[in-house]
Amino acid sequence: MPLFQVYKDIFGCIADGSKTIEVRARLLKGDTAVFQCGRSILRKKIAGRQEFGLGDGFLEKNWKLIVPNATSLQSARERLTGIFPDQTRFYAYFLE
């Protein structure tokens, strides 16, 4: 089971179902993801995984499911590059 440390706003979006895609810079194995924010823990089943790059269209189609609090594609891209500054390839985890 991969453990994902997430910010409080992201944890809330996962809990309320508005965030259904988690993005990481490396592939993690497991069919259940454990999300932790402080002492709060949430488990979600991973329905699938997909590798993508910032320029291949995946983010453009799915940015609102990745960063629900973002107001635009550009702000979602800035959030990802702020968290993973040196990455150009990512792994999307589809959550149930």
Domains belonging to the chain, first-starting first, are: 3-95 (2.30.130.30)
pLDDT in tens, 82-96: 999 999 899 999 999
Q: How confident is the model at residue 74 (pLDDT cuts 50, 70, 90)?
A: very high
Q: How confident is the model at residue 30 (pLDDT cuts 50, 70, 90)?
A: confident
Residue 49 scores a pLDDT above 90: yes
DSSP 53: E
Which tokens go with 82? Answer: 């702020």
Residue 52: how many CB atoms within 10 A of its CB?
16
Look at 1 and 60; give whichever has higher pLDDT.
60
Look at 8 and 29; give whichever has higher pLDDT.
8
Residue 14: how many CB atoms within 10 A of its CB?
20
pTM: 0.90
| Nearest-10 Cα torsion for 15, 18, 20, 26 | -80
Residue 80: how many CB atoms within 10 A of its CB?
20
Helices assigned H by DSSP within 17-83: 58-66, 73-83
